[in-house]
Every structure is written in C-alpha cells, then in structure tokens.
Amino acid sequence: MTARHRSWIKPAAIGAVVLALAGAAYTFMAKGEKAPDVTFISIAGDKISTANLRGKVVMVNFWATSCTTCVKEMPAMVDTYNKFKGQGLEFVAVAMQYDPPNYVLNFTETRKLPFIVALDAGGDIAKSFGDVTLTPTTFVIGKDGTILKRYVGEPDFTQVHALLQKALAAG
C-alpha cells in the first residue's frame, strides 16, 4: 500500500471512531427522557433550577470559549434566543468545567450575550446531562421537562426554529 493510500485510511478510521463515540454519547439523554434536575449558577451568581424552568421551553447549550464551532454558532444562538424569547423560550449557555471563568465572563460581556450564562465549575451539570464531553452540545427541553432533541455539533438552525415553534405552541 502506498503512502497516498494510507493517508486515505487514517482520516476514514478516525472519522469512524468519532462517529462511534458520538453515537455512544447520543444514547445518553436521548429524546423523550426527562431533563435532569440541576441548578445552574449564572456568572452573575444567580441560581436557576430546571425545576423552576418547567412550563417553559428551554435550550441548554454546553460550550467553551476554546471551541471554534461554539464560537462560530454563538451569533445564531443569540438570534434564536432573541427570536423566541417573547414566546417563552429560556436559554442557558453552560460553560464547560475546563473553561476559565474569566474567559467566559469576557466572552459574555464582549459579545453581549442576552441569555443566562452559567459555569459548570465541578462538571456536575455536564455529567447530569449524560456526561456531555463534546462541544457544542445543545438540548431542547419541552414545557414538561422532556428532552425534545439533543444536537451534538452545530445544529441546523432552520430545524431548531421549527422545533421551537412547535414546542412553544404546544399546550
């Protein structure tokens, strides 16, 4: 086998492993399960529990300032929040445990993030949501606390908006 052929195998094998890991991760906290009962601590020091958010549609986005896809998708997350907040959408952006709090604070302030930004200092929130390790990972949670969808990676925002419209319109 030539070096050129081996170079094709390596990325394919790596891709297969990544897909397998993503698939394994997806089995945790899949659609239809109840969101865990957790309390988010915002960068302002406020405590917000998932129990207090029942009755609202909620997006929970796990992200990091060092994650290029997270940074790239953040303007679309802001647009999504701004589009649906008047209809009852709540949004919590959870910074991963390894993200330095001063980086998170700086990112939040410089980009004027309009939603709740929480720190997961101990990693407990990510663990509660099915041991989230890949960023970005976003959950859409229905009014009854059921996970409607889990997105690993940047979602198709047209699909997200359609799901949010349906969820917000539900009784």
Q: Which fold has domain 31-169?
A: Glutaredoxin (3.40.30)
Closest CA to 61 of 70, 72, 52: 70
E strands present in the chain: 39-42, 47-49, 57-63, 89-95, 116-119, 137-141, 147-152
The Cα–Cα gap between 76 and 63 comes to 14
- Torsion angle in degrees (nearest 10) through CA of 108, 109, 114, 116: 50
Structural domain boundaries in the chain: 31-169
> With 60 as the cut, is the pLDDT of residue 25 above it?
no
75 or 31, which is more confident: 75
pLDDT averaged over every residue in the chain: 88
124-170 tens-digit pLDDT: 999 999 999 999 999 999 999 999 999 999 999 999 999 999 999 98
State phi, psi for 59 to the nearest 5 degrees. Answer: -105, 130
d(CA 77, CA 155): 10
Please give the DSSP secondary-structure letter assigned to residue 48: E
